[in-house]
C-alpha cells in the first residue's frame, strides 16, 4: 500500500486553489484528488454525481459512520468566475503578500476545505469516538444546487449528526442565522413598431421599467418593516436588480426586455410573499394594459435559484459545541446565503463558522489572512481532541 499523503495547511490550500472549479466547469479533477488523498489514509469516499456526470459531491466519514451524533464539516468546491476582473497575479496560483494568501477561493471557501483535509491524520490518530463527516459540494455559487442530493443521501443513509459546520468565511465567528435568497429572470415581450407610432406598439422596456419600479416600492416597504431581531445588516428583507437588457435601436419601440432580480428574505419572513405579490401585479395590472394594445404580449418570470435562510436555534447543543470550539461567547447573523439553511431544512442543526472575510469573496485579488488560517487550525485541533474523547 502506498504511504499516506501528507500536506501542510499551506500546501493543501495551494493544491485546491490550483484546480479551476469555476461553477460552469467540472470539479472532477479536484474530487479525484481529494478521493485519492483520503484513500491513502484508508478513508473511503462516496460520490453523488450530477445528471450529466460532469460534477460530483464527495462524502466521507472519519470513524464509524453508523454512529449517531457525528460532526459534519461542509464546504463547496466551486468558485465564482475571474473573467473581467483585474487580478495582480494568477488567480489559480497562491501568492503570499503582506501576511495574506491571494487566489480565487482562498476566502470563499477552499481554505476551509484544505484545513479540514490537512487535519485528517490528526482526526484519525486516536481513532475518533465521534465520527467526523466530510461533505464537499458543487454548484453552491449558482444556487446551492449540488448539496441538495447529498443532503438527501445523508438523511437517508446515516444516523442524524449532532451538528453541521458550514465553513463559509465568517472570520471564525459562529453564525446561527442568515438570510435566504430567491433570484429570477423576468422577460417582457411587447410589439415592435416605429417609434413615432407609440400608440400602436407595446414597449417592453417601458413595462419592464414599471415592474422594476414596483419591486423598488416593495423594497421600500420591506425597509419600513425592518428586522424585528435587530441582528441583520441591512436590517430588512432586501430586493435588488442585477442586469437589464432590451431594445434594438432608438427609433424602434422595443419588442423584448429582460432583467435579473433577487430578494433576500429575513429567515423568519414569508419567503414567497414578494414573488406572489409581483406575479399578482403582473397579472392584474400590467398584462391587461399591454394586451389591450397587443393580445400576444407576455411577461414570463422564471426561477434562477432559491435557497432558504438559516434561523437561530438558541441553546441548541450543536451550536453550543461549535461556540466552545471557536471560543465565542455569542453567535452572529449575516446577510449572505449559504448551504446551511438547506441542512437545517433537513432537520439537522447547522451553524456557519469558517476562516476568511466574506468582504473578500468574489473580488479580484481575493485573499485570506494567515492569522485566519492559524485560528482555524486551532479550531480543528480542538475538534480533533473533542471527537477523540478529550475535554476541550
CA atoms within 13 A on the CB side of 101: 28
> Cβ of 88: how many Cβ atoms within 10 Å?
10
Contact (CB, 8 A) for 166 and 72: no
Helix (H, G, I), strand (E, B) or coil at 255: coil
Provide DSSP, 120-151: HHHHHHT--SS-EEEEEES--TTTS-THHHHH
Q: Which residues contact 18 (CB under 8 A, 6 or more apart)?
A: 92, 93
User: 3-state DSSP call for residue 308?
Assistant: coil
H/E run at residue 71: strand 71-76
317-326 and 370-387 are packed helices; what angle lies between their axes, rounded to 10 degrees? 130
SS3 per-residue string spanning 94-123 = CEEECCEEECCCCCCCHHHHHHHHHCHHHH
Residues annotated as catalytic are: 78, 140
| Residues contacting residue 275 through CB under 8 Å, at least 6 positions apart | 182, 184, 263, 301
Residue 202 is given by DSSP the state B
Alpha-carbon distances of 240 from 144, 212, 285, rounded to whole Å = 19, 9, 22
Amino acid at each position: 500500500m502506498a504511504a499516506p499523503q501528507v500536506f501542510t495547511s499551506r500546501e493543501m490550500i495551494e493544491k485546491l486553489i490550483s484546480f479551476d472549479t469555476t461553477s460552469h466547469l467540472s470539479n472532477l479533477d479536484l474530487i479525484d484528488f481529494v478521493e485519492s488523498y483520503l484513500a491513502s489514509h484508508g478513508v473511503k469516499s462516496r460520490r453523488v454525481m450530477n445528471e450529466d456526470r460532469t460534477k460530483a459531491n464527495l462524502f466521507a466519514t472519519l470513524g464509524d459512520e453508523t454512529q449517531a451524533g457525528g460532526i459534519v464539516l461542509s464546504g463547496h468546491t466551486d468558485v465564482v468566475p475571474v473573467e473581467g476582473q483585474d487580478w495582480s497575479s494568477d488567480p489559480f496560483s497562491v501568492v503570499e503578500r503582506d501576511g495574506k494568501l491571494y487566489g480565487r477561493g482562498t476566502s470563499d471557501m477552499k481554505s476551509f476545505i484544505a484545513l479540514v483535509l490537512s487535519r485528517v491524520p490528526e482526526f484519525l490518530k486516536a481513532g475518533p469516538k465521534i465520527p467526523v463527516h466530510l461533505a464537499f459540494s458543487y454548484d453552491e455559487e449558482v444556487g446551492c444546487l449540488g448539496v441538495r442530493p447529498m443532503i438527501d443521501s445523508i438523511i437517508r443513509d446515516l444516523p442524524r449528526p449532532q451538528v453541521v459546520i458550514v465553513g463559509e468565511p465568517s472570520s471564525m465567528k459562529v453564525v446561527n442565522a442568515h438570510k435566504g435568497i430567491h433570484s429570477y429572470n423576468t422577460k417582457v415581450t411587447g410589439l415592435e413598431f416605429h417609434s413615432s407610432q407609440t400608440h400602436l406598439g407595446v414597449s417592453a422596456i417601458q413595462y419592464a421599467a414599471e415592474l422594476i419600479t414596483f419591486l423598488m416600492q416593495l423594497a421600500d416597504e420591506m425597509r419600513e418593516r425592518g428586522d424585528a431581531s435587530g441582528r441583520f445588516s441591512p436590517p430588512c428583507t432586501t430586493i435588488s436588480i442585477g442586469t437589464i437588457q432590451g431594445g434594438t435601436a432608438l427609433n424602434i419601440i422595443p419588442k423584448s426586455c429582460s432583467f435579473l432580480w433577487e430578494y433576500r428574505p429575513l429567515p423568519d419572513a414569508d419567503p414567497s410573499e414578494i414573488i406572489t405579490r409581483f406575479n399578482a401585479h403582473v397579472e392584474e395590472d400590467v398584462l391587461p394594459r399591454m394586451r389591450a394594445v397587443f393580445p400576444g404580449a407576455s411577461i414570463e418570470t422564471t426561477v434562477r435559484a432559491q435557497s432558504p435562510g438559516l434561523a437561530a436555534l438558541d441553546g441548541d447543543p450543536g451550536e453550543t459545541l461549535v461556540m466552545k470550539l471557536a471560543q465565542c461567547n455569542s453567535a452572529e447573523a449575516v446577510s449572505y446565503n449559504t448551504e446551511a439553511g438547506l441542512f437545517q431544512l433537513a432537520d439537522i442543526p447547522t451553524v456557519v463558522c469558517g476562516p476568511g472575510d466574506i468582504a473578500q469573496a468574489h473580488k479580484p485579488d481575493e485573499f485570506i489572512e494567515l492569522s485566519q488560517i492559524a485560528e482555524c487550525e486551532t479550531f480543528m485541533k480542538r475538534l480533533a481532541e473533542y471527537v477523540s474523547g478529550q475535554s476541550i
